[in-house]
Amino acid sequence: MPVLSRVGVEFSFSFFALAGEWEVLCYWGDRNRQYEAGVRLRYTPATQDVAYWDGAYHSFGTGVVLTASRLPEHTMKLVVDLLNHEYVRFMIDDLPYDLSGNYARDVGAWGASYLWPRARFARPVLHAIDVNLDNFIVTQNEP
């Protein structure tokens, strides 16, 4: 099996009520250490920001504008360099953010190799909201 270097985690989503938090995450281990990287999009009436995670959230984008829709018409993509444990870039729809120079969180010693991409949504209110996740893909050898 070839060694994976730059891996992309991407998905499409809906945002019908325009309130909540989307996260795209990537966890991996290399038989010695384990790492985690993630980007959070907070979208509420008061806050529209994007932040990466290295043990704490660091904001790098504000004023993101999304349109409400029941269809999964928005896309988030995170690219990480697994070998160097570094963020590469993040995209929301067609808006790219360069995240190079920022490192993934080193979680500590680990005894197995793995790759675990994830996406999740949380909402600050308890009423029902239609939220859809679609087209979840993992790519390798990203530029």
pLDDT digits (tens, 9 = 90+) for 102-116: 999 999 988 888 999
With cut-offs at 50, 70 and 90, classify the pLDDT of residue 124: low
Region 64-79 average pLDDT: 82
AA identity, residue 133 = L
Q: How far apart are CA 19 and CA 47, in angstroms?
A: 9
> What pLDDT does residue 110 have?
85
Show the tokens assigned to 113: 């190799």
Tell me the whole-structure pTM to 2 decimals.
0.88
Residue 43 lies in domain: 6-123
Look over the chain and give the mean of its residue pLDDT values, rounded to a whole number: 86
Domain count, the chain: 1
Residue 65: its pLDDT value, please?
Answer: 79
Please state, in angstroms and rounded to a whole number, the distance separating the CA atoms of residues 72 and 14. Answer: 4
Separation between Cα atoms, residue 22 and residue 128, nearest integer Å: 16
119 occurs within a structural domain:
yes
Q: Identify how many contiguous H helices and E strands the chain contains and give both numbers.
A: 0, 11
Domain contains 100: yes
Closest CA to 49 of 59, 58, 35: 59
Residue 138 lies in a domain: no
pLDDT at residue 63 is higher than 90: no
Instruction: With respect to residue 76, please indicate whether it lies within any of the assigned structural domains.
Output: yes
Residue 69 belongs to some domain of the structure: yes
In a domain, 109, yes or no: yes
Least Cα distance to 22 among 2, 49, 40 occurs for: 40
Decide: 66 and 43 in contact? Cβ < 8 Å: yes
With a pLDDT cut of 70, the percent of the chain lying above it is 89
CB 20 within 8 A of CB 44: yes
Mapped onto helix, strand or coil, the DSSP state of residue 54 is coil
Domain-embedded: residue 1: no
pLDDT of residue 125: 65
Give CA–CA dist 92/101, Å, rounded.
Answer: 19
Asked if residue 136 belongs to a domain, the reply is no
